[in-house]
Amino acid sequence: MSSAALDSEFLCYVVEQGFEPGDRLPSLADLSAQIGISVGKLREQLEVARTLGLVEASPRRGITRTAYSFLPAVRLSLLTALMLDRSYFDDFSALRVHLETAYWDEAVALLTPEDHAQLRSLVAGAQAKLSQQRIQIPSPEHRELHLTIFRRLNNPFVVGLLEAYWDAYEAVELNTYADIHYLQQVWDYHARIVAAIEAGDIVLGKQLLVEHMQLLSHRGISIESRQSELTVVA
């Protein structure tokens, strides 16, 4: 693919010069002279690159190339969509279901014994939170459990989409309010999913995954009514 398709002199420069993650780029003044565009236009293109997560810029360190991630661009677009219409979350949630089921076999096969131990630890930590007198919603554990299962996929686009889903999940506040019975169901499924993974039963694990993800669609309660209809837990 021709770098000219990027329609950005700065992005073309970064690609063509072969900068690696961690490399420092020249100053804006030097870049302006090398690329042949004004500093003002260069600043605009630099901001796009920052939004895409391709570079970092600070007065102390200057401009630094970062590793590619699909997440920044997807997250910005998705969160904007949710501000326009909350129902977009349901559409993206459906995409997430298809992604996780489609990549399940491949992802689980890549998991290491250390990953299995991490999954067990997340389940134990979540169950401990739910058994306390003052119940805590194990939202960090929920996110990390799912992402741990798929994180070893050598596909930045799948991983970026799944990471963006959890940012959206938090944005619509599904991590804030929940019925205790629902939470117990969710983590019972998680425990059985992890057990199936450790037993090498990929088919059972996928079946439990699908059943588990159907719980969210069955909640059917709007964010506006959730505060009065669900138990608020800190």
Q: How far apart are CA 105 and CA 203, in angstroms?
A: 8
**Residue 61, pLDDT above cutoff 90:** no
Mean pLDDT of all residues in 91-112: 96
Using pLDDT thresholds of 50, 70 and 90, give the confidence band for residue 229. very low
Mean pLDDT of all residues in 40-62: 92
Mean pLDDT score of the chain: 89
Note the maximum CA span of the chain.
65
Mean pLDDT of all residues in 181-203: 95
For 175, list phi and psi in degrees, rounded to 5.
-90, 0
pLDDT of residue 26: 94
Long-range contacts of 177-185 (CB under 8 A, 24+ apart): 177/226, 177/227, 177/230, 177/231, 177/232, 177/233, 178/137, 178/230, 178/231, 178/233, 179/230, 179/231, 180/130, 180/135, 180/231, 180/233, 182/215, 182/219, 183/130, 183/135, 183/137, 183/138, 184/130, 185/215
For 18, list phi and psi in degrees, rounded to 5.
70, 30
Mean pLDDT of all residues in 115-131: 96
Q: How far apart are CA 29 and CA 168, in angstroms?
A: 38
Q: Which of 118-132, 136-150, 211-225 has the weakest average pLDDT?
A: 211-225
**Residue 93, pLDDT above cutoff 90:** yes
Domains of the chain: 3-65 (1.10.10.10), 71-229 (1.20.120.530)
SS3 letters across the chain:
CCHHHHCCHHHHHHHHCCCCCCCECCCHHHHHHHHCCCHHHHHHHHHHHHHCCCEEEECCCEEEECCCCCHHHHHHHHHHHHHHCCCHHHHHHHHHHHHHHHHHHHHHHHCCHHHHHHHHHHHHHHHHHHHCCCCCCCHHHHHHHHHHHHCCCCCHHHHHHHHHHHHHHHHCCCCCECCHHHHHHHHHHHHHHHHHHHCCCHHHHHHHHHHHHHHHHCCCCCHHHHHHHCCECC
Q: How far apart are CA 147 and CA 131, in angstroms?
A: 24
Using pLDDT thresholds of 50, 70 and 90, give the confidence band for residue 7. confident
pLDDT per residue as tens digits for the range 8-43: 999 999 989 999 999 999 999 999 999 999 999 999
